[in-house]
């Protein structure tokens, strides 16, 4: 069974990782868990209260396949947890790493974006944290996957889901239909 952990902080952007976690759990049988600083309940930017299964400090990388950093306003504050050692260790273990929105800032701060193509909300969003990968930044509105690291702007939860699942070896007709259903609204003006 594929095992995934999503890291959430106070004021996390609830729309950014909901699709990937729901799709992975319901359609592909992933074991999904959520982790927060100290294992405390957090409230999303939309007001959803989440009680996590794990404390960040208790994350074990053993038998973990996917580690996701959800975006949110907390990542730009002094209260943001330090994840550098955890993310570098996950990268060393070949665990798929994914960051969306300001979750990409966390990956950049950890140094895991220094040698891979990546994206974010903007190039400035990442250069503000001082990282060495600016030359590999891709200015695109969709998710980018490179060397088992997936990044996306906060407006791209559909392609974020697709790139994560494809990186884990899932790219079947069901996924194609699901993605087409979610992407259909972008072809029409309301």
Contact predicate 2/23, CB 8 Å: no
**Picking from 46-60, 64-78, 166-180, which range would have the lowest pLDDT averaged per residue?**
166-180
Residue of 3, 5, 7, 4 whose CA lies nearest to 103: 7
Secondary structure (3-state) at 163: helix
pLDDT of residue 9: 98
Please check the confidence at residue 185 and state whether its pLDDT lies above 90: no
Q: Where are the domains of the chain?
A: 3-187
Q: Which fold has domain 3-187?
A: Rossmann fold (3.40.50)
Rounded to an integer, the average pLDDT of 162-173 is 96
Q: How far is CA 172 from CA 14, 26, 57, 145, in A?
A: 26, 15, 35, 18
Mean pLDDT of the chain: 95
Confidence bin at 189 (pLDDT 50/70/90): low
Residue of 64, 62, 89, 45 whose CA lies nearest to 6: 64
Question: What is the tens place of the pLDDT at every residue in 126-167?
Answer: 998 989 999 999 999 999 999 999 999 999 999 999 999 999
Question: What is the tens place of the pLDDT at every residue in 61-116?
Answer: 999 999 999 999 999 999 999 999 999 999 999 999 999 999 999 999 999 999 99
Please check the confidence at residue 188 and state whether its pLDDT lies above 70: no
Residue of 120, 151, 153, 13 whose CA lies nearest to 72: 13
pLDDT of residue 184: 81
Question: What is the tens place of the pLDDT at every residue in 11-20?
Answer: 999 999 999 9
Q: Which residues of 59-83 are buried (b: 16+ CB within 10 A; e: fewer)?
A: beeeebbbbbbbbbebbeeeebbeb
pLDDT of residue 64: 98
């Amino acid at each position: 069974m594929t095992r995934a952990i999503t890291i959430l902080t106070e004021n996390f952007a609830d729309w950014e990782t909901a699709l990937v976690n729901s799709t992975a759990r319901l359609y592909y049988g992933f074991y999904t868990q959520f982790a927060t600083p100290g294992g405390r309940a957090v409230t999303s930017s939309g007001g959803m209260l989440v009680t996590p299964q794990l404390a960040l400090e208790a994350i074990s990388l053993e038998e973990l396949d996917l580690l996701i950093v959800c975006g949110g306003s907390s990542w730009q504050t002094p209260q943001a947890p330090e994840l550098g050692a955890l993310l570098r260790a996950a990268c060393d273990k070949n665990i798929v790493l994914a960051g969306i929105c300001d979750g990409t800032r966390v990956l950049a701060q950890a140094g895991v974006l220094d040698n891979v193509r990546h994206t974010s909300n903007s190039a400035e969003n990442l250069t503000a944290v001082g990282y060495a990968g600016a030359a590999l930044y891709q200015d695109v509105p969709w998710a980018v996957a490179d060397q088992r690291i997936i990044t996306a702007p906060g407006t791209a939860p559909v392609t974020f889901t697709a790139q994560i699942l494809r990186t884990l070896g899932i790219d079947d007709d069901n996924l194609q239909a699901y993605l087409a259903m979610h992407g259909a609204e972008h072809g029409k003006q309301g």
